[in-house]
């Protein structure tokens, strides 16, 4: 019997190595895909952030920011902090609406800007009325405290009388603004407003302040003592 000779296994052809030019193309495609993925993730994150920091009720915010010489982003930050953009919000002390205005504060503002209008406290559930009144009052706070956002926020929250006493009691370096906020609730509120405002500025850097054809709240008259009733936030 004749022994069969074992044939050697056929060798597979070696895969051709990519040329330097092909490698460069592959690397460029991979880099582009990575960049597109990063941009997509950033875009999605940015959209989520914009939902967390929205510009709701922009028609009213922009108009009354312009009327009272305010940066509209400040108003968005205050509304976000006060009510989370819920026009029907009502606090335990019966502060109402988007900017959480108490009845005493409502009556004070009404006497300044709408003395002859048939408005009642319940009208603060109307977004435009609430933004109108809240914008005026926050502008008054800024006028009174040298345009300092943190001090104005403290005054909006806790009342002018409280802030004035703190300024006189050693919590101010210039006699006009606060450098410390000794009450925990006040401090948290100020941090929320200033933090939200900073984030709004980052998310909406092209926003312009509403100062065109604007008068100040002081020009509308703010010498009378404002109510010291705090908001609910």
d(CA 40, CA 127): 35
Burial 80-113 (b: 16+ CB within 10 A, else e): bbbbeeebebeeeeebbbbbbbbbebbebbbebb
Instruction: Name the nearest CA neighbour of 48 among 191, 190, 199.
Output: 199
**Which 3 state secondary structure label does DSSP give 98?**
coil
Q: Do the beta carbons of residue 208 and residue 62 sit within 8 Å?
A: no
Structure tokens at 159: 């009342």
Q: Do the beta carbons of residue 154 and residue 194 sit within 8 Å?
A: no
Neighbour count for residue 164 (Cβ, 10 Å): 16
Q: Which of 50, 59, 62, 82 is catalytic?
A: 82
The answer to whether residue 82 is catalytic is yes
Q: Do the beta carbons of residue 64 and residue 75 sit within 8 Å?
A: yes
Instruction: Name the nearest CA neighbour of 98 among 75, 117, 115.
Output: 75
Strand partners, 103: none
Structure tokens at 202: 């980052």
Kindly list the catalytic residues: 82
């Amino acid at each position: 019997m004749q022994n069969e000779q074992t044939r050697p296994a056929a060798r597979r052809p070696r895969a051709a190595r990519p040329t330097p030019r092909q490698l460069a193309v592959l690397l460029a495609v991979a880099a582009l895909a990575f960049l597109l993925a990063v941009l997509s993730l950033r875009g999605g994150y940015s959209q989520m952030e914009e939902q967390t920091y929205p510009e709701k009720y922009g028609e009213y915010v922009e108009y009354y920011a312009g009327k009272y010489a305010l940066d509209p982003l400040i108003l968005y930050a205050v509304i976000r902090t006060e009510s989370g953009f819920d026009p029907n919000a009502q606090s335990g002390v019966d502060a109402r609406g988007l900017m959480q205005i108490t009845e005493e504060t409502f009556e004070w503002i009404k006497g300044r800007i709408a003395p002859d209008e048939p408005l009642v406290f319940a009208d603060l559930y109307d977004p435009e009325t609430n933004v109108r009144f809240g914008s005026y009052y926050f502008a008054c706070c800024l006028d009174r405290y040298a345009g300092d956002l943190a001090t104005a926020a403290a005054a909006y929250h806790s009342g002018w009388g409280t802030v004035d006493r703190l300024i006189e009691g050693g919590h101010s370096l210039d006699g006009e603004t606060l450098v410390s906020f000794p009450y925990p609730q006040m401090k948290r509120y100020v941090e929320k407003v200033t933090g939200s405002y900073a984030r709004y500025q980052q998310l909406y850097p092209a926003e312009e302040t509403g100062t065109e054809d604007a008068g100040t709240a002081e020009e509308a008259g703010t010498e009378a003592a404002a109510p010291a009733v705090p908001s609910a936030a």
